[in-house]
Structure 1
């Protein structure tokens, strides 16, 4: 009987499948963080193809790699293969929290299209399942001989859960239903109840119910940033706060229309286009990236925790763990995952500093760094 796939090829794949999938998962994360936000201002077909392919493949590859590691651990725990377990000791279980970190995705892209935001419940279920699977693999391999390596994986677990939780929360915030709820003002039922009670009591007594119009407050236009060069940024942010209601199918009130008319009319066309470019950039970040949480105190705290976890794990792994018991290729892949995690965190922080959001915040509080960023 002729086999289509030779036994040597199958044996080679069984030896390298987990390693290949883990490296591919890291490569997909690099592609996403590099190109995830560039489609905001680059309309090239190749960029859309690469980004969409990486976005659709990243979660699948990481989840499959988790399943492969789980199957590998089951095989290692099999009594029939116990004689080979000492010779096949490796760091695959230590890769599990890195895969969880990959499932959290980069800050530059959480959704490729608006429909992805509506799948927040699916991502929540994925969060529970993948975290449960990772913990199962992790606890199953916890032994006295592997205590140092298992303990070292805990900080990466914390970072991975933070990243995955952020992604799920951001997807829910950007979903059309939740986005609309956040923009709707709270109902003022007390005023209406008081007005209705007074109206019906006068109607019962036969008294005329007179209505008086509240005089409209005068419109005082103007955005006054602390730095003159930041005026387009502040006006674009004001436009963003007003016009994002249109994305939620809400109407603009009279003052909103006056603000928009003030900031767009009587300006050169190139200035208006610059405002719209910045405003649409803010809107894109809210709908397709982790901007809702990244540009906040909570996001800064999470970034700091994640970076500290990755750096501390890398140095402890380099200085404490005895690597002579593991294969050279597995040690090299572990170094690659650790350095890759640190590099992705540092790139995300650098990208965070160089965005319009940060420039707006710095100029708002008269920070001297703004003069270095704007221009």
Structure 2
């Protein structure tokens, strides 16, 4: 009896529940969808994703239910004819909210599918309306329905139009590209001229103060891995280098926030010619969605009679007023609801993760992250200072410019006079392995020297260290193409093996001290052992402040090395899931004139001449050492800056063979 009653109730209220549910989901998306720009809990992000998928499903299901109800004989005249008026409102819901058109960047490529959906659902809605509308109904109610169909249809097509505009295919087609026809030597001259002018801009800063607004632009080409010409890069650099830290932070925040809006919402940039059509369509759709429902509400108020059920009347007004409020919120209310781009740096610590695992006896805790830290502004200052120091102290020509953009700690070791400590060999390891070694070594130095928690330099070192390991753990493709996430598990297992006969349920500090004590008294090999050897070399400097300055410099170089080798597409993709601080660093480096991924791929590669190849063959299979490089007169500096990343760059270039790289053979 209870089941049959429930089925009967569902048959009676099914459509009403669906339309009210659709309205509720739209309100949830209007209020909270922009918060995905920030680092939010996984359950909250999942609820936004579920609501985004469910919003279309609910609206389509409600229209299908309405379509089935039209089969009911009009002769019954059960007072539910008002339900047909809900069809255009459901079309408006199907158009979605301005704050979220795509959840993932791949959704933008599905705009053709959304056009088909829009056409089919509009057809269904019009069919249901024409078949079900009683001829005896009030003409004012008919006029209200027709007025609602106009913004309903417009919003249905607004969503695929926004997706089409934000798709990478359309974005690539909209950017004017000039085919390179200059010879490699001419491009070298262009680069040399750029380096000299950029260096002068940093050293002299004799150009006029630039309006900070001019630094606010949408770096579409960077996100598409297209290289800007040198004149534009120089102009952008001159604008940016005169900004103070606060203005620079606002400029970078503006760029990232607006790229997010451009890719994942209905926002457009009307300053761009190819955005004017979508912008005009959005404006007209908004005007229609605000004005016509108001007129329709007035007509409905005047035309309703007692022939309609009380529940249908109330639901109709809830739908009309609620949808009108949604349009107001979309247009005015919550554009800046999520605030500025979040200044958070994600954290993941290997030893800390191991300690939590052993205390809780849960293997799953290995995947748990530390709380993010809010030190991005301080780290940004270090990165910006590193770039400026490079222009002032290292970069003198195009060759040194390329070398500087390939360093990942070697320059710091030379500046601090640490080349005789045998530290560079760890930097010659594959980048992902080097990250883990320096990460564990940083923790060993911190706990072995019992550094104070208030030591600012040490704290920054650990924050950058934890962030780089976070990238390897959760976003290894952004760290560097080909990075091996499994190395973290190997290092984790090594810790477990080292402590196999010892107490493991300790806090992070005591656990690190225990591991250090064991490593001191035993012999072995592996990542953790290499990290301890590195830590011993660093602590042998004697001066604690100098030790942390060296570690900080190495980590800043590694951070810049990683940012300069990450595809723009991956930066754009990460914005949809809260973003990565690496994107912030990447954009900062681009604005300070450093090489980005696209520029590395487009630059001329240099092959060995026959004389150099013969000399290399005579060295046997030992590889290209520093002495060999100097003997062959290859471009290098003390510490062998360029060679450590050469193989990484070649692999990266090979993976993306759609870019054309000219080969220039040294005579």
TM-score by length of structure 2 reads 0.44
Contact 1:90–1:330, Cα closer than 8 Å, also in 2: no
Deviation per CA, 1:35-63: give whole Å up to 9, x if none: 12222235333431221111010000000
2:330 maps to which residue? 348
1:325 maps to which residue? 307
- 1:283-302 matches, within 5 Å, as 283-292=259-268, 296-302=279-285
Whether 1:36 aligns to 2:33 is yes
Give 1:312's match in structure 2, choosing from 277, 283, 295: 295
Deviation per CA, 1:223-245: give whole Å up to 9, x if none: 865xxxxx3xx24423x2xx211
Tell me how far 1:341 sits from its aligned partner: 1.4
Matched residue SS, 1:75? coil
**Larger RCO of the pair (alpha carbons < 8 Å, separation 6+):** 1
Tell me how far 1:247 sits from its aligned partner: 1.6
Contact 2:81–2:132, Cα closer than 8 Å, also in 1: no
Whether 1:170 aligns to 2:159 is no
User: Which sits farther off after the overlay, 169-178 or 291-300?
Assistant: 291-300
Taking a change above 3 Å as real, the CA distance of residues 150 and 276 of structure 1, as seen in their structure-2 partners, is: same
TM-score by length of structure 1 reads 0.75
1:156 maps to which residue? 148
Taking a change above 3 Å as real, the CA distance of residues 224 and 309 of structure 1, as seen in their structure-2 partners, is: farther
Higher Rg: 2
- 1:95-114 matches, within 5 Å, as 95-114=86-105
Give 1:237's match in structure 2, choosing from 216, 219, 223: 216
Give 1:125's match in structure 2, choosing from 94, 97, 116: 116
Tell me how far 1:271 sits from its aligned partner: 3.1
**Structure (1/2) with the larger helix percentage:** 1
Q: Distance in 2 between matches of 1:314 and 1:296?
A: 27
Contact 1:235–1:275, Cα closer than 8 Å, also in 2: no
Contact 1:323–1:331, Cα closer than 8 Å, also in 2: no
Contact 1:117–1:175, Cα closer than 8 Å, also in 2: yes
Contact 1:170–1:290, Cα closer than 8 Å, also in 2: yes
Q: Distance in 2 between matches of 1:314 and 1:322?
A: 11
1:277 maps to which residue? 253
5+ residue gaps, structure 2: 182-188, 202-206, 269-274, 339-667
Superposition CA RMSD, Å: 3.0
Contact 2:144–2:297, Cα closer than 8 Å, also in 1: no
User: Which sits farther off after the overlay, 345-354 or 333-342?
Assistant: 345-354
Deviation per CA, 1:141-162: give whole Å up to 9, x if none: 2332125223311111110111
Whether 1:252 aligns to 2:228 is yes
Tell me how far 1:347 sits from its aligned partner: 1.3
Deviation per CA, 1:342-364: give whole Å up to 9, x if none: 111111221487699xxxxxxxx
Contact 2:144–2:295, Cα closer than 8 Å, also in 1: no
Give 1:66's match in structure 2, choosing from 63, 67, 77: 63
Tell me how far 1:261 sits from its aligned partner: 2.3
2:237 maps to which residue? 261
2:133 maps to which residue? 142
Q: Distance in 2 between matches of 1:89 and 1:61?
A: 20
Q: Distance in 1 between matches of 2:319 and 2:209?
A: 47
Contact 1:223–1:235, Cα closer than 8 Å, also in 2: no
Give 2:9's match in structure 1, choosing from 9, 12, 15: 12
Contact 2:70–2:128, Cα closer than 8 Å, also in 1: yes
Q: Distance in 1 between matches of 2:117 and 2:167?
A: 17
1:208 maps to which residue? none
Matched residue SS, 1:290? coil
Deviation per CA, 1:193-230: give whole Å up to 9, x if none: xxxxxxxxxxxxxxxxxxxx99x9999976865xxxxx
Matched residue SS, 2:227? coil
Q: Distance in 1 between matches of 2:174 and 2:337?
A: 24
Contact 1:236–1:278, Cα closer than 8 Å, also in 2: no
Q: Distance in 2 between matches of 1:330 and 1:134?
A: 18
Taking a change above 3 Å as real, the CA distance of residues 70 and 112 of structure 1, as seen in their structure-2 partners, is: same
Tell me how far 1:251 sits from its aligned partner: 1.3
1:45 maps to which residue? 42
Contact 1:101–1:163, Cα closer than 8 Å, also in 2: yes
Q: Distance in 1 between matches of 2:208 and 2:176?
A: 25
1:22 maps to which residue? 19
Contact 2:84–2:133, Cα closer than 8 Å, also in 1: no
Q: Distance in 2 between matches of 1:63 and 1:222?
A: 58
Matched residue SS, 1:36? helix
Q: Distance in 1 between matches of 2:208 and 2:265?
A: 30
Matched residue SS, 2:303? coil
- 1:142-221 matches, within 5 Å, as 142-148=133-139, 149-185=141-177
Q: Distance in 1 between matches of 2:170 and 2:4?
A: 53
Q: Distance in 2 between matches of 1:11 and 1:280?
A: 52
Contact 1:236–1:279, Cα closer than 8 Å, also in 2: no
